[in-house]
Amino acid sequence: MGTIVPRPRKDGTTAYMAKIILKRKGKVVHRETETFDRRAAANAWIVKREEALSKPGEIERAKAPVPTLGQVIKKYLSDSIKPVGRTKKQVLKSIQDFDIAQLPCDRIGSPNLVEFAQELGKTRLPQTVGNYLSHLSEVFTVAGPAWGYPLDKKAIEDAAIVARRLGIIGRSNLRDRRPTMDELDRIMTFFTSRRVSAAPMLQITAFAIFSTRRQEEITRITWPDLDEEHSRVLVRDMKNPTEKAGNDVWCDLPEQALKIVQAMPRGPNRIFPYVPDTIGHAWRDACATLGIDNLRFHDLRHEGVSRLFELGLNIPHVAAVSGHRSWTNLKRYTHIRAKGDKYAGWKWLEIAAPQKEKAEERG
């Protein structure tokens, strides 16, 4: 049976130490103590712990060394058969460098997590802090059921609520940057005037606009995943808020995007067999050299989606191209009014996707 011992503090308040001592055949086999600000909380802890310790093998597990959060993160990364996304892996590895990673799992409560979020907030944007807690939450979700580690999932849920209300975490501001036709003309001229990358940036840039595909998605598309008859492509591991790995989605390919793909050299596997970093570096180099400010490769997806609405397509038709699972995310574009295709007769499309006979001559 547990006991509660009141203890006066220096500030005049009272702390309540809850004690549990278990004996077998007259010998103490297990003891635990925990301190609370309220007697009711101490009593609730005793009831909960005594019930847990009554289960077979629980005392032995309680006596086993408790791993630190950093050790659990390491196990999560090593034991996951499903590929862990690059961003999530980077985030979880960076968390291992913070003080909270040195705490034993059973000592991590919502105050520790709020303090961790506040520390992150000193050098990171609120949306980034939110991403850190979101990725860490998955470790908390898995640790208990999978390995019996005492990470309190409710603690990180409570911490996220507190951090949101304090403004430590928040949603990212929606970017509305679109390239101008003059900027695109200068960028495409830059890509044709010099060999800036092993990747065919002229074709990749045009494809990104007309297909609305993300940088990493472009490099994962394979020839077997291309359905030319129905002008669509299977986009594997498409990004979404909850899960990416295994989220394979058929997306329509507008005529211009399909022409670019058909002009690419045929191979056994990927249509654009390059790494995302190569594309990103080439894009940043072009913008820096040309003095084009604040234009990211990902903005081409926003440009492509905006173009579809300017053509007069409705949300379901646009979603069939972009792959948006939730139409709610496309409501930000509903202010766009149909005004035709500013890319009609765009010279760079003919260069990126020449007619078949010209492509054969080039090959």
127-174 pLDDT tens trace:
999 999 999 999 999 998 888 888 999 999 999 999 999 999 987 667
Q: How many CB atoms within 10 Å of residue 116?
A: 26
Residue 138: which of 88, 104, 90 has the closest Cα? 88
Q: Which residue has the higher pLDDT, 25 or 234?
A: 234
Q: How many CB atoms within 10 Å of residue 303?
A: 20
Residue 165: which of 123, 240, 110, 124 has the closest Cα? 110
Tell me the mean pLDDT in the region 214-221.
94
pLDDT at 150: 87
Residues in the chain: 363
Give residue 269's pLDDT band: very low, low, confident or very high (50, 70, 90). very high
Per mean pLDDT, which range of 83-92, 95-104, 234-243, 338-347 is the poorest?
234-243
- Give the architecture (CATH level 2) of 181-362: Orthogonal Bundle (1.10)
pLDDT at 242: 52
| DSSP code at position 116 | H
Tell me the mean pLDDT in the region 212-235.
95
Residue recorded with tokens 């990103």: 280
Is the pLDDT at 240 greater than 90, yes or no?
no
Whether the Cβ atoms of residue 218 and residue 253 lie closer than 8 Å to each other = no
Is the pLDDT at 120 greater than 90, yes or no?
yes
Pairing status of strand 226-227 against strand 27-36 = unpaired
Domain spans in the chain, listed from the N-terminal domain onward = 3-63, 69-165, 181-362
Q: Dihedral sign, CA of 81, 86, 90, 95?
A: negative
Is the pLDDT at 197 greater than 70, yes or no?
no
- Alpha carbon of residue 275 to chain centroid: 19
Is the pLDDT at 363 greater than 70, yes or no?
no
Residue 315: which of 336, 343, 298 has the closest Cα? 336
Strand partners, 24: 27
Tell me the mean pLDDT in the region 88-108.
93
Q: What is the average pLDDT score of the chain?
A: 89
Whether the Cβ atoms of residue 249 and residue 323 lie closer than 8 Å to each other = yes
Q: Which residue has the higher pLDDT, 254 or 334?
A: 254
pLDDT at 226: 96
Distance CA 222, CA 226 (A): 7
pLDDT at 196: 57
Per mean pLDDT, which range of 174-183, 191-200, 303-312 is the poorest?
191-200
Residue recorded with tokens 């793909």: 261
3-state DSSP assignment of residue 36? strand
Tell me the mean pLDDT in the region 93-106.
94
To the nearest 10 degrees (0 to 180), the angle between helices 201-211 and 181-193 is 150
pLDDT at 195: 66
Give residue 357's pLDDT band: very low, low, confident or very high (50, 70, 90). very low
| Strand ranges inside 37-132, DSSP E | none
